[in-house]
């Protein structure tokens, strides 16, 4: 078998094919944009077709058995420390703690020693901070699905958190349902390039003369309402910037650095492949203005009975309001992110000129724009005093 897909648009990089191959004939190789794609070794492949059969992105998928009326909540963790360390309302750490108390393990996206993003496994509450916060880069899965299957077969309950494509990729690779598997998907805008992120980190370390010590894609350190990019360096310096000015986030917000399949994502609808769907509660100010305190509100959609039961177990730890699926709908629960017309030009310029060049050419973050935003922020702070 030469290829699993005819165009890169048809591969989301979920690694289901890699994990399911009985001959280990598939490797995940990085392309020039920094995304991983399966490559088949002709010497090892026996043309069994399993790799194509588990590709839900091309073949379609069946969601789990949904509840007739799915419970939907707007949620704020009562523990302000936990909420402050989270991207929005602090639901994920509560679900994880509850699951760990039952003797389970939790998988999710975290940083490695170089601040690259990979899926990791935790087994104690002390490790939850490794998985907290948004990670705006496609995480590396490698042998994660095999590790999950091994845990499940050994009777260890598993909570797996990821994007819709990663959740369904796991379901396909397992080939069966497990009662001790709990799936939580994140409403995803799209997966930015790991290569662009590596270039960004290298530039930031060069500019600040030090290695990165801590990085938060949605920090609440200075601009809590806008949730700035926040980086601490080993030399004691710190960087905090508005998301529409920061080099990496502004390009992400322009939809330029996403994986090609994200523009055709089959999971951007309400047919979620998980027990629970989590995200920011977009539009909370219009729907429940009295509930919004500008510190982050989470959206939780319980898709299955397993999900609804888990949600009920953590509700005592939250200030919450019941909502509806209709009110909770947001762009990526309706359709994929739109591909910019200039995408091909962007990637050509990125390859030839580098990250700083495309940042200046394709974003609005000019020097004057930075000054204006900072002046406005100072005025707002002064008015609050």
pLDDT digits (tens, 9 = 90+) for 302-335: 999 999 999 999 999 999 999 999 999 999 999 9
Q: What is the pLDDT of residue 244?
A: 82
Q: Quick one: average pLDDT of 361-371?
A: 71
Query: CA separation (Å) from 379 to 129, 358, 376, 385?
Result: 34, 31, 5, 10
In the numeric block, the tokens 């909570």 are attached to 159
C-alpha to C-alpha distance for 148 and 141, rounded to whole angstroms: 11
- Beta partners for residue 140, in sequence order: 118
pLDDT tier, 371 (very low <50, low <70, confident <90, very high otherwise): low
What is the four-CA torsion angle of 163, 1, 263, 141, rounded to 10 degrees? 20
C-alpha to C-alpha distance for 377 and 356, rounded to whole angstroms: 25
Beta strand 105-111 pairing with 158-163: parallel
Neighbouring residues of 130: CB distance < 8 A, sequence distance ≥ 6: 110, 111, 120, 122
3 state SS of 38: strand
Count how many residues are written for the chain.
385
pTM: 0.92
Instruction: Give the percent of the chain with pLDDT over 90.
Output: 83
Q: What is the pLDDT of residue 379?
A: 53
- CA 324 from centroid of its chain's CA atoms: 23
Neighbouring residues of 146: CB distance < 8 A, sequence distance ≥ 6: 19
C-alpha to C-alpha distance for 276 and 131, rounded to whole angstroms: 17
Compare 375 and 125 and report the one with higher pLDDT: 125
Query: CA separation (Å) from 140 to 28, 144, 246, 278, 296?
Result: 10, 9, 24, 21, 27
Task: State which H helix or E strand residue 39 sits in.
Answer: strand 36-40
For residues 253 and 192, the answer to whether their CB atoms sit within 8 Å is no
pLDDT tens digits for range 139-151: 999 999 999 999 9
Phi and psi at 159, nearest 5°, equal -105, 120
C-alpha to C-alpha distance for 187 and 329, rounded to whole angstroms: 11
Compute how many other C-beta atoms are within 10 angstroms of the C-beta atom of residue 233. 19
Q: Quick one: average pLDDT of 185-196?
A: 96
Q: Is the pLDDT of residue 48 over 60?
A: yes
Beta strand 229-233 pairing with 212-216: antiparallel
């Amino acid at each position: 078998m030469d290829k699993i897909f005819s165009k890169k648009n048809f591969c989301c990089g979920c690694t289901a094919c890699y994990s399911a191959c009985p001959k280990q004939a598939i490797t995940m190789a990085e392309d020039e944009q920094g995304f991983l794609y399966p490559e088949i070794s002709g010497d090892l492949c026996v043309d069994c077709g399993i790799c194509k059969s588990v590709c839900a992105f091309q073949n379609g998928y069946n969601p789990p058995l949904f509840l007739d009326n799915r419970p939907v909540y707007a949620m704020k963790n009562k523990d302000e420390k936990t909420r402050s360390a989270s991207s929005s309302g602090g639901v994920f750490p509560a679900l994880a703690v509850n699951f760990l108390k039952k003797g389970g393990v939790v998988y999710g996206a975290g940083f490695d020693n170089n601040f690259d993003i990979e899926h990791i496994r935790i087994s104690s509450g002390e490790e939850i901070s490794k998985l907290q916060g948004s990670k705006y880069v496609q995480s590396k899965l490698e042998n994660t699905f095999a590790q999950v299957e091994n845990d499940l077969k050994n009777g260890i309950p598993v909570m797996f958190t990821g994007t819709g494509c990663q959740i369904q990729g796991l379901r396909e690779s397992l080939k069966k349902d497990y009662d001790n598997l709990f799936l939580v998907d994140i409403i995803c805008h799209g997966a930015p390039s790991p290569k662009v992120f590596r270039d960004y980190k290298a530039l930031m370390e060069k500019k600040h003369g030090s290695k990165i010590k801590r990085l938060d894609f949605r920090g609440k350190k200075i601009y809590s309402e806008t949730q700035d990019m926040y980086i601490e360096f080993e030399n004691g310096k710190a960087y905090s910037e508005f998301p529409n000015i920061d080099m990496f986030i502004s390009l992400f917000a322009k939809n330029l650095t996403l994986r090609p399949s994200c523009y055709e994502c089959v999971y951007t609808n309400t047919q979620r492949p998980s027990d629970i769907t989590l995200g920011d509660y977009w539009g909370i100010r219009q729907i429940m203005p009295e509930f919004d305190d500008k510190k982050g509100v989470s959206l939780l959609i319980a898709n299955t009975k397993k999900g609804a039961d888990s949600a009920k177990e953590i509700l005592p730890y939250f200030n919450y309001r019941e909502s509806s699926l209709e009110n909770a709908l947001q762009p990526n629960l309706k359709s994929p992110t739109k591909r910019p017309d200039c995408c091909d030009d962007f990637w050509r310029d990125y390859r030839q000129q580098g990250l700083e060049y495309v940042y200046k050419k394709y974003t609005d973050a000019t020097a004057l724009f930075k000054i204006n935003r900072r002046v406005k922020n100072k005025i707002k702070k002064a008015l609050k005093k």
